[in-house]
């Protein structure tokens, strides 16, 4: 499986977090082969949740056999770097583990006695995110057959859904796949990515600022304003305040904002969505 990069706006390169995840998964795989009982100790097992709570995270690094880890790592290798390059390492890491947690949650809700291992929920979430960012990107199955990303992910969703409710059961955790897809979809659609939201807000305020003709220039030209003087002044003050808040976030982080500053960001974000 591979993807074409023409028209994507980026060049392929292995990114930092993806590289660490690949190394960690491979290292854990060989460790579970060498150390008896380690796989069971790291897996998510509902009956042992209270004594092994770390399983909700560590299960993502445990794989049942060579083909299981090979497929998951290939998906991570191909789909992870463009997302990490676009979002940044911190946002990518948050998204990856959120999808993994969504997988274990849905699996537990529908199959409360079944154990779960593997990074499938997380990488299914990555595939969905890739398809939502580059829906028409060609994915080459076996390096030969091109399929648009959106149709490939839609096909995998249908297969997982059908298998989860009608399949005979077995080692494949189809509900975990669906949980990873669901977590990814909700996270991206509800836009809980603070960094992405702030970047869009910063771009929007810059565009709005460029659209406002400065008052002194208008007076020099002797032409009436495109908007009323009051509205123009209000807009300027609002954009100045947003710039100050965004600079404060860059320097000190989100936790440094006051309640009034948070309300200001929410108001500007609301106006931007409705305009």
Q: Tell me the whole-structure pTM to 2 decimals.
A: 0.68
pLDDT mean over 63-88: 94
Cβ distance 162 to 21 under 8 Å? no
User: Picking from 2-11, 63-72, 199-208, 260-269, which range would have the lowest pLDDT averaged per residue?
Assistant: 2-11
Distance between CA atoms of residues 1 and 63, nearest Å: 20
* pLDDT at residue 218 tops 80: no
Confidence of residue 243 (pLDDT cuts 50, 70, 90): confident
Domains in the chain (CATH in brackets) are 2-189 (1.20.1540.10), 194-274 (no CATH)
Residue 110: CB partners within 8 Å, gap ≥ 6?
Answer: 164, 175
Q: Which of 178, 185, 181 is nearest to 107 (CA)?
A: 178
Q: Which of 48, 44, 41 is nearest to 175 (CA)?
A: 44
Quote the tokens at residue 17: 């977090």
Q: How many CB atoms lie within 10 A of CB 29?
A: 21
* pLDDT at residue 23 tops 60: yes
SS3 string of 242-267?
HHHHHHHHHHHCHHHCCHHHHHHHHH
DSSP-assigned letter for residue 10: S
Q: Please tell me which residue, 79 or 226, carries the higher pLDDT value.
A: 79
- Average pLDDT taken over every residue of the chain: 79
Exposed, middle or buried, 237 (CB in 10 Å: 0-12/13-18/19+)? exposed
Reading phi first (left if > 0) and then psi (alpha if -120 to 50, else beta), residue 37 is in left
- CA distances to 71, 168, 184 from 207, in Å: 43, 55, 30
Which range scores top for mean pLDDT: 46-50, 58-62, 109-113, 234-238?
58-62
* pLDDT at residue 137 tops 60: yes
Phi, psi for residue 45 in degrees, rounded to 5? -130, 110
**Adjacent-strand bridge partners of 44:** 116
């Amino acid at each position: 499986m591979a993807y074409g990069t023409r028209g994507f706006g980026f060049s392929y390169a292995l990114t930092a977090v993806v590289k660490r995840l690949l190394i960690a998964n491979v290292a854990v795989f060989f460790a579970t082969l060498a150390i008896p009982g380690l796989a069971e100790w790291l897996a998510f097992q509902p009956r042992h949740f209270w004594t092994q709570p770390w399983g909700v995270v560590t299960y993502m690094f445990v794989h049942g056999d060579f083909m299981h880890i090979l497929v998951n790592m290939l998906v991570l290798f191909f789909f992870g770097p463009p997302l990490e390059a676009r979002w940044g390492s911190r946002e990518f890491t948050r998204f990856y583990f959120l999808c993994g947690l969504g997988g274990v949650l849905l699996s537990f809700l529908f199959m409360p006695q079944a154990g779960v291992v593997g990074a499938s929920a997380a990488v299914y979430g990555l595939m969905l995110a890739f398809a939502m960012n580059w829906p028409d990107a060609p994915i080459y199955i076996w390096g030969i057959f091109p399929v648009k990303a959106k149709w490939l992910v839609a096909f995998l969703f249908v297969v997982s859904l059908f298998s989860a409710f009608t399949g005979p059961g077995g080692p494949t955790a189809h509900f975990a796949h669906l949980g990873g897809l669901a977590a990814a979809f909700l996270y991206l659609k509800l836009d809980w990515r603070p960094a992405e939201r702030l970047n869009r807000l910063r771009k929007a305020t810059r565009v709005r600022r460029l659209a406002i003709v400065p008052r002194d220039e208008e007076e020099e030209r002797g032409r009436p304003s495109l908007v009323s003087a009051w509205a123009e002044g209000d807009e300027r003050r609002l954009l100045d305040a947003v710039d100050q808040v965004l600079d404060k976030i860059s320097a000190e982080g989100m936790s440094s904002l006051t309640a009034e500053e948070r309300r200001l960001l929410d108001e500007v974000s609301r106006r931007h969505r409705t305009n």
